Amino acid sequence: MISKNTVIKMGNRLGFEVVKISSANPFPEYERIIKERIQAGFDPDELMGHEQILEQAEIFAYPANSLRNAKSIISMALLLYSGLSRSYETGGTSRSTFKG
């Protein structure tokens, strides 16, 4: 088994600023919140920009529906801002720095 710290370091080496790990247990609260928002009349595109996610909330709320044997879910994010440039240090730590 790979440790949490190893996964985070690997993600950082690949340039991801955010690396998070959660269990693959169900997220029924997610499903409830999304469905409440839809029933309240929120436009799915305004909520998340991904109408498919809202239409399939029950799939995403229960990871075993699509990731049958998963024990953990790894989420990674990149900083996407046109006014920033990316620079990397050795050792796997990613840094974002302002231009100019």
Task: Check if the beta carbon of residue 24 is closer than 8 Å to that of residue 71.
Answer: yes
Q: Nearest 5°: CA angle at 50, between 46 and 56?
A: 115
Give me the mean pLDDT over the 38-63 stretch.
68
Work out the average pLDDT over 82-91: 48
pLDDT at 51 over 70: no
pTM strictly above 0.95 = no
